[in-house]
Chain A
């Protein structure tokens, strides 16, 4: 069964450093998402992406965040200058079309020191 994959599974970085989280959505999917979950808290929406542009973003998704689909298969989330509070699990999701359901990847655990 096709699945969303994410790399790396774990990332440790120093505060102020840039990180790039990578996702490979299911191959025929058109809509892409990033969510995050701070330890012990709810899953929170960050951003959605369709047709090579952001379609919706939350208040969390400020200027430090950016997304890109550089090569038609990968979908990346970049955090330009990480803060301690960026430590969380980051989940990528994708879906095939408007009437379909979102499939989530296994997540990347980001720890900012």
Chain B
């Protein structure tokens, strides 16, 4: 079972920042936080991952609290194409080869 808790849905206005929270209070020291998203009927798409430091790439930023029990994915300027289900996944190590356990995710709706 997924080890994370996310809100079922969120709304965001186009052009504004979307902040998607995730709780992972039972995370272990060797577990990373991964974020994927799934646009309707498409395959999941990798966004970002991190261990304890904040991370940023061309798609998003990941803020992980100091106690690592929660994190926030930030889409700085949401567009309509960012409407998708966003999954927060905790997995052991940074080894990408281990399987992904998806939860129900957060349905983000970006509106004009």
Contact = CB atoms under 8 A, between A and B. Distances in A.
Judge: A and B partners, yes or no: yes
A105 B102 contact: no
Interface in A31-69: 31, 33, 35, 42-45, 48, 50, 55-56, 58
Contacts of B44: 43, 91, 93, 104
- Contact-residue bracket for chain A: 20 to 34
Interface residues of B, number: 21
B95 A102 contact: no
Contacts of A100: 96
B21 interface: no
Contacts of B102: 42-44
A60 to B, nearest CB: 12
B101 interface: yes
Interface string B37-57: 010011111100100000000
Contacts of B2: 42
B96 A99 contact: yes
A107 B95 contact: no
Classify the secondary structure of B's interface with A: loop
A105 B45 CA distance: 9
Interface in B48-106: 49, 87, 94-97, 99-104
A21 interface: no
B100 A105 contact: no
A35 B43 CA distance: 10
Given A98-B95, A99-B94, A45 B100 contact: yes
B101 A45 contact: yes
A107 B44 CA distance: 10
A93 B44 CA distance: 9
A98 to B, nearest CB: 5
Given A43-B38, A98-B96, 16 more contacts: A42-B102, A42-B104, A43-B44, A45-B99, A48-B97, A50-B97, A95-B97, A98-B95, A99-B94, A101-B46, A101-B96, A102-B46, A102-B96, A104-B45, A106-B43, A107-B42
6 contacts: A45-B101, A93-B44, A97-B96, A98-B95, A100-B96, A106-B42
